[in-house]
Amino acid sequence: MAREFSRRLRAWYRRHGRDLPWRRSRDPYRILVSEVMLQQTQVSRVVGFYERFVERFPTISDVARSRPAQVREAWRGLGYYARARHLHRLAREVAPPRGSGQLPDDPAALQALPGIGAYTAGAVASFAYERRAALVDTNVARVLRRACAPGVDAKSARGARTLWEIAGALLPRTGRATWVHNQALMEVGALVCTARVMHCDRCPVSSLCATFARVKRRPAGR
């Protein structure tokens, strides 16, 4: 089931995935910037900010050499300015002379850096380094809960652990396939299996989905 679930997701993504600027890159710094910006902010708003930010700060060393006020200025209008402060602190730790100038490829090492949680660590490891790393954000959690564990409370600590375990169990065998798999999971959550509406008629994994099976068994009129 896990292999078929991932196979269908990846086939769908190759046809329907959006062409977003950070998806064209394997630069760990640019992936990090996009993931930090996407925290609590819609994709449509992030695109323009992302392109202006990486034009002004092309590398993590450029961020590190800048004053905090300059980074905040580039972030102006995006909101949640703690993200900009954390990014600047992280850059100071990673860039020379304190660091090598390169973000680590291991999720655990990434989580040790300022402002990086489990999801962002998995995203950078998977999308920049093509590591076989799981990731669970709000969209992914919703897809996995509906498809595999409808009874799980995603907001509880136990439920969150369960969804991370499911995410890990569904990963394909290679890091390159994992890149597509993880992007596809996020994309299905953003475009198809949304918080408001389940577009099951457009979902690539509906025939494998526990929630869809329940809906089909439900008597008419209920």
Cis peptide before 172 (omega within 30 of 0): no
Instruction: Kindly list the distances between the CA atom of residue 47 and the CA atoms of 37, 51, 147, 161, 185, in Å, as whole numbers in the listed order.
Output: 9, 6, 30, 31, 20
For residue 51, count other CB atoms closer than 10 A to its CB. 12
Tokens 């959690």 — which residue?
141
Instruction: Kindly list the distances between the CA atom of residue 13 and the CA atoms of 16, 27, 47, 183, 185, in Å, as whole numbers in the listed order.
Output: 5, 21, 20, 8, 9
Contact (CB, 8 A) for 187 and 13: yes
Instruction: Show Cβ contacts of residue 146 under 8 Å, excluding neighbours closer than 6 positions.
Output: 193, 198, 209, 210, 211, 212
Closest C-alpha to 199, from 142, 122, 161, 120: 142
187 carries an active-site annotation: no
Phi, psi of 198 (to 5 degrees): -95, 110
Q: Which of 35, 51, 130, 165 is catalytic?
A: 35
Which residue numbers are catalytic? Answer: 35
